[in-house]
Amino acid sequence: MSRQLRRVALIGGSGFIGRSISEHLDRAGISQQIVTRSREGARASWSLPGASCVECNPYDQAALTAAIADCDAVINLVGILNERGDNGSGFQRAHVDLTRTALAACSNAGVARYLHMSALNAAPVAASHYLRTKGEAERLVRAASASLATTIFRPSVVFGPGDGLFCRFDALLRFAPVLPLACAASRFQPVYVGNVAEAFVRALGDRRSVGQSYDLGGPAVMTLAEIVQLVVRVTGRKRLIVPLGLLASRVQAEIFEHLPGKPFSRDNFRSATQDSVLSGPNGLDAFGIAPVAVEAVIETCLQRGGERMRYDLLRRRAGR
């Protein structure tokens, strides 16, 4: 595998999942080019001996082509959970326009392998901008598969140190003795970030994965209320969780839409009304990966995730 894949480009490699894939690539002895808007954002990968960073505007096709020119494969991990406003244009740019640019850059640079991060329930007719644009991006990837060896991954919510689920609620519950919880009955199948990263890396050297799409999930289905209650138990806090029904959840989304950082937006609400649970085979099985249970690692994830969040906060305050 290492002879065939000397170098892999990670677009969006400085993010939560990207950092884990970067570590797994390093363990596999595959060098990597982390394509990022800010080299500082990829600091976590600086110490990896086979990693290098290049600052690049990924929406600039010529610049992206140059950034991946010496690579044998590209992994596109770019994604956003919220946008300015609520018209879908931000999601369209990040998920569809960037995917189109990345696929064109692969063609121009002669890159033969492309792995794409999507999401469970992604579909061009989905209710939310997030899932709809993820589905539109998948359609572009499949259309490119005639001339490019492509693989698509569609995970449920991904958890691990510094995630946007368990660690986010951990941070919120530090200061909220009472938590009105929107979409509390929504069901998810949390999948460990290390499992997702391993699937990406194994797919690179597995010809059977070419042209395939894999849904990824963990070993257990949990409601959002169960996820939050687990955080409460693990941290030993005494908190009152108040589950909200559909109407109250919609009202909360309308209010939180206008708060700084959009802690829960209208589009988050639209996505959460659809359970993020596997309806078919777990793609992890195809790569011989045993899914890690949330309970097995949650305590470590919250501890390391809290440390990372505090570190990132200090960096932002320092203007770095």
The confidence score (pLDDT) of residue 306 equals 52
Residue 274: closest CA among 126, 170, 93, 61: 126
Q: Report the DSSP beta bridge partners of residue 181.
A: 243
Q: What angle do CA 139, 140, 143 make, to 5 degrees?
A: 85
Structural domains in the chain plus CATH codes = 7-158+190-217+278-292 (3.40.50.720)
Query: Which pairs count as long-range contacts for 304-307, CB under 8 Å and 24+ apart, including other chains?
Result: 304/161, 304/162, 305/160, 305/161, 305/162, 305/163, 305/166, 305/167, 305/170, 306/167, 306/170, 306/171
CB distance 7 to 27 below 8 Å: no
**How many CB atoms neighbour CB 43 within 10 A?**
15
112's CB contacts (< 8 A; 6+ apart) are 72, 73, 106, 148, 149
Number of residues in the chain: 320
How much is the pLDDT for 305?
Answer: 56
CB count, 10 Å around CB of 196? 23
Residue 39, Cβ density class (10 Å: 0-12 exposed, 13-18 middle, ≥19 buried): middle
What per-residue confidence (pLDDT) applies to 39?
72
- On the CB side of 300, CA atoms within 13 Å amount to 7
| Strands of 31-36's sheet in order across | 51-55, 31-36, 7-11, 73-76, 113-117, 149-155, 212-216
- How many CB atoms neighbour CB 318 within 10 A? 7
* Helices (H) then strands (E): counts for the chain: 12, 13
CA separation for the pair 147, 195 (Å, rounded): 29
pLDDT for position 278: 98
Q: Which amino acid is at 192?
A: Y
> Nearest-CA neighbor of 246 among 237, 238, 254?
254
pLDDT of residue 3: 40
Instruction: Give me the amino acid identity at 247.
Output: L
DSSP assignment of 74-108? EEE----S--SSSSSHHHIIIIIIHHHHHHHHHHH
Residue 47 is predicted with a pLDDT of 73
With a cut of 70, which residues of the chain have pLDDT below it?
A: 1-4, 42, 44-46, 305-320
What interhelical angle do 224-235 and 166-173 show, nearest 10? 60
